[in-house]
Structure 1
Amino acid sequence: MKAFLFTVFVLFPFVAFSQIETHLSFNRTDRTLVLVVKNNTDKLFRLSPLGRDNYKPETASFIILRYKDLNNKLLFKRSFFVFNHQHNASLYVNGMFLTRYDENKYVYDLKRLYKGNLNDICSVDIHVQIEAVSLKDKKDVYKEKMDRILRW
């Protein structure tokens, strides 16, 4: 029995180890949102969709931003693919893929993405969905959803 419990406690962390990790952080000073997506495997993944022609609703890596006022009234809504809004073309293309044992960092300027008076914003509701497909085995799909509320 001791050997069984020892095996379970030693091996459990390895079983729970995630293929892909996602972390979301917010810098209040410059109002930037940082999404880090880390590939913990030796597989090459691509974020869905491969292109706009292959997009199917609810099967993509995207972000939805909902800017709200003090009364929780929706001021502005913005949605886009995770790899969009990168500041140069190489980051855009590289951001579509998750290389082996590497991480991608996506930075979004929430002030620049908002169309309106910044003083009206009280909070930003963020919905992130990551869907990654292994290039080697198309059946190996990773999907995660995150929701956060940022106080402006």
Structure 2
Amino acid sequence: MRLAGKVALVTGSTQGIGKAIAERYAAEGAAVAVVASKTLERAESVTVAIRQKGGAAEAFVADCSDVGQIRKLVAAVIERFGTVDILVNNAGIMRTASIEDTSEEKWDSQLNLNLKGAFFLTQACLPEFKRKGRGKVINVTSIWGV
């Protein structure tokens, strides 16, 4: 188990790539903070599946485009697990529209989650990483991300 004793905070981990990352990290021995953007139930369904396979996971909910919620999320993960070792910035949205049809609101919501969210999640984890003298940040993105 390569990640035994580690704590991983994985955003966007209720489906797709993020869910697969959370499940794999748990299988490798990490305790995983599974983060949903809107409802705790979505994160809880992933944590139940992880626990059924013998892994450790806890469900959290946070809007990762909101700096206040980001700070509360990281504090809650550290309170629950005692630390955070790995941050996986996976949460993201894709707004598909032509330039003519993209409103400022849609543009801002995409950038706030895909770019600003990853930046401020990393910033919120930094004090813990510095305290321990180590930490890992993994940013998952695509050409659609910005």
Instruction: Give me the TM-score of the superposition, normalised by structure 2.
Output: 0.28
Structure (1 or 2) with the greater strand fraction:
1
Q: Rg: which structure is higher?
A: 1
Instruction: Give me the TM-score of the superposition, normalised by structure 1.
Output: 0.27
Higher relative contact order (CA 8 A, sep 6+): 1
